[in-house]
Amino acid sequence: MKPKVGFFDFTGCEGCQLTVLNLERELLDLVELMEIVEFREISSDQGEALDIAFVEGSICSSAEIRRLKAIRARSRQLFALGACADTTGINALCTDRTSEQLVGEVYGTAVGHLRYRHPRPLEAFVKVDGRVPGCPIDGREFLAILQSLLIDRMPELPTYAVCAECKLLELPCTFERGVVCLGPLTRAGCDAHCIAEGDRCRGCRGQVDAPRSGPYYRILEEHGLSEEDILNELRIFNLSGEKRG
């Protein structure tokens, strides 16, 4: 029997699911090997048992917590799809103010019934079996992870940092331009996409398992960054923020 796969989304931009959809050509090869039973199903507390659930977005309300737990309960494996689900990602930028302030700023004071919590990653509420990192996710990495799951091999993410991929592409170090880059802390797997395009790494894929923060901060300080500057850099994708598990 073909494995049943479902895609779900919570608070996020849905860019990761879009990345999956953009893989249509490649997915055609794979689609015969699985059964995609749900995709972007907003209210599916009930439903059939799943082999793999890919869940996008952060968790921001009690209703979302309930729905996430229901998905978890009927899924053999649950994978966080993208940074919002994995580490809260840029959603965590709002944690500098209270949820009441946030609701007030966005919806005004007239709307009294909205109850929002600060966004949290999936891991804060349910067991997560694995993740597809990035903002958005890398399509090829998603395919490799999906392939692994379909042949019952636990997918492995690179344990090294983006610098390695930068070097393999023969890209000059971003620091040589006098630009701060989070590549040394950030998990590889994106083929240094942003740097290859002339930008810098902002850490959307999260930190490697054992980030060398000490030596890295020393280098940032040598480049004239203050502690506050460094924290601001890390804050973009919530690198030092949410604890896992």
Partner 1 sequence: MDKNEALQIQPRPGQPEKQAGPGAWYLLSRGDIDRLVRSLSVAYEVVGARMKDGRYTLDRISDPAELELEFPPRVHSPKKFLFPNWEKLFRFRLGGKVMLEAEKAAVPRVIFGMHPCDLHAVQVLDDCLFEGEADSTYQAKRQATVLIGVDCEPDAFCFCTSLGTDKIDSGFDLFLHRSNDGYLARVGSARGLRLLRRYLPEIREVDNPQLPPAGKSCQRSIRFPMESLAPVLGEVYDHAIWQEIGERCLGCGSCNLLCPTCYCFNVQDRLDLNLQGGERVRTWDSCQFDQFTRVSGGSDFRPDQTDRQRHRFFRKYKYLWEKHQRTACVGCGRCARECLAGIDNTEVLNSLFAEQVAAEQSPSPGLEYQPQMAELLSVDSLTGREKLFRLRLPEPVSFRPGAFMQVSVFGVGEAPLTIASAPDADGHEIELVVRSKGSLTRALHRLKAGDAIGVRGPFGNGFPVEEFVGRDVLLVAGGIGLVTLRSLLLTILARRGEFGRVMLLYGSHSIDQALFRDDLKRWHLGDQLDCRFAVQHFGSQWGVTGGDITHLFRDLDIVPARAVAAVSGPAVMYRNVNPLLFGLGFTTETIYLNLERHMKCGLGKCGRCQINDITVCQCGPIFPYSQVQHLREAIER
Interface size with partner 1, residues (CB under 8 A): 31
Q: What are the backbone angles phi and psi of residue 54, rounded to the nearest 5°?
A: -100, 125
Report d(CA 144, CA 14) in Å as an integer.
20
Q: Give me the amino acid identity at 176.
A: E
Report d(CA 59, CA 125) in Å as an integer.
9
Nearer to partner 1, 37 or 181 (CB): 181
Only one of the segments 81-89, 109-117, 128-136, 167-175 lies at the binding site for partner 1 (rule: CB under 8 A); that segment is 167-175
Nearer to partner 1, 3 or 89 (CB): 3
Minimum Å gap between C-beta 59 and partner 1 is 30
The reply to whether 245 sits near partner 1 by the rule CB under 8 A is: no
Minimum Å gap between C-beta 9 and partner 1 is 25
The reply to whether 219 sits near partner 1 by the rule CB under 8 A is: yes
* Tokens standing for residue 86: 């994995």
User: Ramachandran region of residue 57, left (φ > 0), alpha (ψ -120 to 50) or beta?
Assistant: left
The reply to whether 21 sits near partner 1 by the rule CB under 8 A is: no
The reply to whether 218 sits near partner 1 by the rule CB under 8 A is: yes
In the 3-class helix/strand/coil scheme, how is 148-181 assigned residue by residue?
A: HHHCCCCCCCCCCEHHHHHHHCCCCCHHHHCCCC
The reply to whether 170 sits near partner 1 by the rule CB under 8 A is: yes
Nearer to partner 1, 94 or 163 (CB): 163
Q: Which of 215, 228, 243, 245 binds partner 1 (CB under 8 A)?
A: 215
Report d(CA 185, CA 237) in Å as an integer.
12
Minimum Å gap between C-beta 208 and partner 1 is 7
Q: Judge contact between 136 and 73, C-beta under 8 A.
A: no
* Tokens standing for residue 40: 């972007």
Q: Which of 2, 18, 29, 63 binds partner 1 (CB under 8 A)?
A: 29
Minimum Å gap between C-beta 200 and partner 1 is 13
Q: Angle at the Cα of 137 (from 51 to 73), degrees rounded to 5?
A: 25
215 CB neighbour count, 10 Å cutoff: 9
Sheet holding 75-81, edge to edge: 35-39, 4-9, 50-56, 75-81, 130-132
Minimum Å gap between C-beta 151 and partner 1 is 6
The reply to whether 163 sits near partner 1 by the rule CB under 8 A is: yes
The reply to whether 200 sits near partner 1 by the rule CB under 8 A is: no
The reply to whether 143 sits near partner 1 by the rule CB under 8 A is: yes
- Per CB under 8 A, residues contacting partner 1 are 26, 29-30, 32-33, 143-144, 147, 150-151, 159-161, 163-164, 167-168, 170, 172-173, 175, 184, 208-210, 212, 214-216, 218-219
